[in-house]
């Protein structure tokens, strides 16, 4: 697997949610009004869980060898006994696998761009591994958020990228969209922030790695302030999560 090229973001004058990384998307995909975002079929879920168990050690090896992947403070996840929304900065096409590894053995649902379901083969693989296309129609968004709320209330884990766009190897935190925080407020569950940082290769990694190693730091859970109304709660939660990130970067 070839490492992706770094980008000089200062020269691009981009908006915070503007995509700089694109994949081949030749297929058609349309979200129907009756689309099932959270699949509750037992056979499908059993097959998906089995695939995740098989893939987990393989992905650990790939991410460690190729990217020097390491995780700190994972015990912060264990402080949450029920449903939770994990979030992270979006810095590599493989960071979705890293987030899944961090949350394992918990099943992790990944709301993602609907365009990812236009990629041959990948569209089926990500669906099996609990990817959920994010709709744009208002009526479809209601169903989308309701199904995610139910999953969170049932104790599931949902992972979101509040920055929306993937900026490879970008070392700052970009502005957040509110979707992840609305999910947490709807279900009255915590946000668990994950921060991806870049470290110079050391030891064996210094022998062959040209790019920095990718390390993940799991931050303390941040809970909604139930004394506020929902809109205030969303904004307050977003601001407090940003404060947690800014303790380590920017």
What pLDDT is recorded for position 24?
77
Decide if 132 contacts 37 (C-beta within 8 A). yes
Phi, psi of 103 (to 5 degrees): -80, -20
Query: Which residues form the domain of 85?
Result: 39-246
Distance between CA 237 and CA 156 in Å, rounded? 20
Mean pLDDT of the chain: 92
What pLDDT is recorded for position 133?
95
CATH of the domain at 152: 3.40.1010.10
Cα angle at 238 between 38 and 9, to 5 degrees?
95
Residue 12 pLDDT class (50, 70, 90 cuts): low
In a domain, 156, yes or no: yes
In a domain, 210, yes or no: yes
In a domain, 5, yes or no: no
Decide if 225 contacts 233 (C-beta within 8 A). yes
What is the rounded average pLDDT of the residues 22-48? 90
What is the rounded average pLDDT of the residues 189-213? 96
For 50, the 3-state DSSP assignment is helix
What is the rounded average pLDDT of the residues 88-115? 95
Whether 6 has a pLDDT exceeding 90, the answer reads no
pTM of full prediction above 0.75? yes
In a domain, 135, yes or no: yes
Decide if 110 contacts 151 (C-beta within 8 A). no
In a domain, 33, yes or no: no
What pLDDT is recorded for position 11?
62
20-24, 71-75, 205-209: segment of lowest average pLDDT: 20-24
What is the rounded average pLDDT of the residues 48-54? 95
What is the rounded average pLDDT of the residues 159-166? 94
Q: What is the total count of domains within the chain?
A: 1
Whether 9 has a pLDDT exceeding 70, the answer reads no
In a domain, 26, yes or no: no
Of residues 180 and 3, more confidently modeled: 180
In a domain, 6, yes or no: no
In a domain, 92, yes or no: yes
What pLDDT is recorded for position 2?
47
CA torsion sign, 51 to 149 to 99 to 176?
positive
């Amino acid at each position: 697997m070839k490492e992706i090229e770094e980008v000089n973001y200062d020269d691009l004058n981009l908006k915070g949610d503007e995509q700089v990384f694109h994949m081949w998307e030749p297929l058609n995909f349309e979200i129907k009004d009756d689309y099932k975002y959270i699949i509750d079929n037992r056979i499908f879920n059993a097959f998906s869980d089995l695939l995740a168990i098989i893939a987990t050690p393989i992905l650990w090896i790939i991410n460690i060898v190729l990217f020097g992947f390491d995780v700190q403070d994972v015990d912060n996840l264990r402080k949450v006994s029920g449903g939770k929304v994990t979030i992270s900065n979006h810095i590599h096409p493989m960071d979705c696998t890293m987030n899944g590894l961090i949350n394992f053995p918990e099943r992790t649902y990944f709301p993602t761009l609907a365009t990812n379901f236009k990629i041959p083969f990948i569209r089926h693989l990500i669906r099996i591994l609990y990817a959920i296309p994010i709709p744009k129609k208002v009526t479809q968004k209601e169903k989308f958020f309701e199904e995610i709320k139910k999953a969170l209330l049932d104790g599931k884990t949902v992972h979101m990228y509040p920055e929306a766009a993937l900026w490879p190897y970008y070392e700052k935190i970009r502005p957040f969209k509110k979707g992840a925080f609305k999910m947490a407020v709807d279900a009255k569950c915590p946000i668990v922030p994950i921060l991806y940082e870049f470290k110079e290769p050391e030891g064996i990694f210094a022998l062959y790695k040209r790019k920095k190693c990718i390390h993940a730091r799991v931050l303390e859970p941040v809970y909604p302030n139930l004394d506020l109304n929902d809109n205030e709660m969303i904004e307050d939660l977003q601001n407090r999560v940003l404060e947690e990130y800014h303790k380590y970067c920017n």
